[in-house]
Structure 1
Amino acid sequence: MTTAILSLLGVIVGAMLQFFFARHLEGKRHHREVRAKAYADYLQCVSELANVQPQRQSVEGRQLGARTADAKCRVSLYGSAAVVSAFASFERLGATMNTSEQRSAFTAMVGAMREDALGGSSVQAADLEIVLLGAHDAT
């Protein structure tokens, strides 16, 4: 009788632990996905801005501005401290790519996003800058 009760108790405790661990891992996975999507959405907006350059007052320009603001808000909400700090540095410089300092700040921000989204996977800043901005713009 005691063995049966202990066995049943073990099964119940095991099921509860499995449930809580699965729930915890699902929450972490969801947060990681939301964070990575915010990073990707912001970078897509930057790419559209650089390649399409819609007029700010046009419907397309206002929609792109709204999507960019939304992505920035999600980055500030879900992003790691390192990403938010790198993002703030880029914004302080004007959030454009006109100077080598601005391009370096943008590259550092994308590098921080990459490390955060991929769990520490780093790449050389110079290589990342060439991929993002092209060889002729890289510092």
Structure 2
Amino acid sequence: MNPAIFSLIGLVVGAVLQFFFTRHLDSKKHQRELRSKAYSDYLLCVSELANLGHQKNTLEGRQLGAKTADAKSRISLYAGPVVISAFAAFERLGATMNTDEQCDSFIDMVAAMRQDSLGGSSVTNADLQAVVLGVRRDKASS
């Protein structure tokens, strides 16, 4: 056989493999972006609720509730199993941050989201809690 044919076959096989590999990587990147966007949207809603104190019966409160439900539904679609478990634990505690247990559960959920989005990047839950919730006086005095 002619060596040019082997070169042509190698070129075609290489191009096909590159196409499928690139397509797979683009798909993974898109999934990661959807997941990270859902996480950040949910955390933004939580922050707005905490900082602005919307009442549920106002237009702003209803809009914030709809945005939160949207982010939660996207998390239920795109999140990994560890995040879903952490989120469910937070929801079972009432999805509020009135007690130390609820705050710890929320931070566990945020840490799981962070791990799911970034992979190997890790921080301590205490540092994450200080950044996300601030330093709480009742914990600081203990």
Q: Please name the residue that 1:57 is paired with.
A: 57
Give % identity.
Answer: 63
In the alignment, structure 2 segments of 5+ residues that lack a partner are: none
Structure 1 residue 121: Cα displacement: 1.1
Question: One-letter code of the match for 2:61?
Answer: G
Q: Please name the residue that 1:114 is paired with.
A: 114
Q: Secondary structure at the match of 2:102?
A: helix
The answer (yes or no) to whether the contact 1:129–1:138 under 8 Å persists in 2 is no
Question: One-letter code of the match for 2:123?
Answer: V
Q: Please name the residue that 1:130 is paired with.
A: 130
Matched, 1:88 2:88: yes
Question: One-letter code of the match for 1:119?
Answer: G
How is 1:18-97 mapped onto 2 (pairs within 5 angstroms)?
Answer: 18-97=18-97
How many angstroms apart in 1 are the aligned matches of 2:137 and 2:94?
A: 18
Q: Residues 21-77 of structure 1: CA distance to partner in whole angstroms, max 9, x if unpaired?
A: 000000000000000000000000000000011111111111100000000011111
Q: Please name the residue that 2:103 is paired with.
A: 103
Judged with a 3 Å threshold, the aligned counterparts in structure 2 of structure 1 residues 55 and 5 are, in CA distance, closer, same or farther, namely same
What TM-score results when the alignment is normalised by the length of structure 2?
0.94
The answer (yes or no) to whether the contact 1:107–1:125 under 8 Å persists in 2 is yes
Q: Which has the higher mean CA deviation after the structures are superposed, 113-122 or 100-109? A: 113-122
How many angstroms apart in 2 are the aligned matches of 1:124 and 1:73?
A: 28
Structure 1 residue 120: Cα displacement: 2.3
Q: Secondary structure at the match of 2:65?
A: helix
Q: Which stretches of structure 1, 4 residues or more, deviate above 3 A after TM superposition? A: none
Q: Secondary structure at the match of 1:73?
A: helix
